[in-house]
Amino acid sequence: MDKNYKEYVDKISPKPTYAKNYILAFIVGGIICVIGQAINDVYMNFGLDKLKAAGATSMTLIFVGAFLTGLGVYDLIGKRAGAGSIIPITGFANSIVSPAMEYKREGYVMGVGANLFKIAGPVLVYGIGSSVLCGLIYYIIKFVI
């Protein structure tokens, strides 16, 4: 019975178009990166040095990604682009805002606030924790040894 059901599901399931998915992910991810580079160039033309322009560009892309997620536009981009919309920093903003948007009816504190870091929270915790651990190892190696 299990084997027949699996064969039936395999038969009627739509087959993914891998080449199309790869191309769309590459194009959309590339467009997001080009937009990020253009924003960075604008900040540098306004007089920011390279480091400050990079920080301002990151903040701008996070804001735009969060704003587009709030409007529901980023989800439409993600349906077409797949990983092309997830990999850049705008995907990080989407991963923070999406869970919060689902629970906005429960209020700002218990809905949005409680669910804001549901997906990105563990990533941030492990990222910060591993950077502290790497920093301690570097400190021990550099100054003690």
29-72 pLDDT per residue, tens: 999 999 999 999 999 999 999 999 999 999 999 999 989 988 98
Mean pLDDT of the chain: 86
What pLDDT score does 59 carry?
Answer: 94
Place of tokens 């253009």: 38
Q: Supply the pLDDT for residue 118.
A: 73
Proportion of the chain above pLDDT 90, given as a percent? 40
Question: What gap in Å lies between CA 36 and CA 54, rounded to an integer?
Answer: 9
For position 114, what pLDDT does the model report?
72
Q: Enter the pTM of the model.
A: 0.70
What span, in angstroms and rounded, lies between the C-alpha atoms of 70 and 56?
A: 21
Q: Which residue is associated with the tokens 């929270």?
A: 121
Model pLDDT for residues 65-87, shown as the tens digit of each residue = 989 988 989 888 888 888 888 87
User: How far, in Å, CA of 124 to CA of 90, rounded?
Assistant: 15
pLDDT for 89 equals 85
Q: What is the pLDDT of residue 107?
A: 73
pLDDT for 99-108, tens place per residue?
Answer: 777 777 777 7
Q: Which helix (H) or strand (E) holds 86?
A: helix 83-86
- In this predicted structure, what is the pLDDT of residue 1? 56
Whole-number pLDDT of residue 96: 80
* pLDDT given for residue 133 in this prediction: 95
CA angle 94, 95, 99 (to 5 degrees): 100
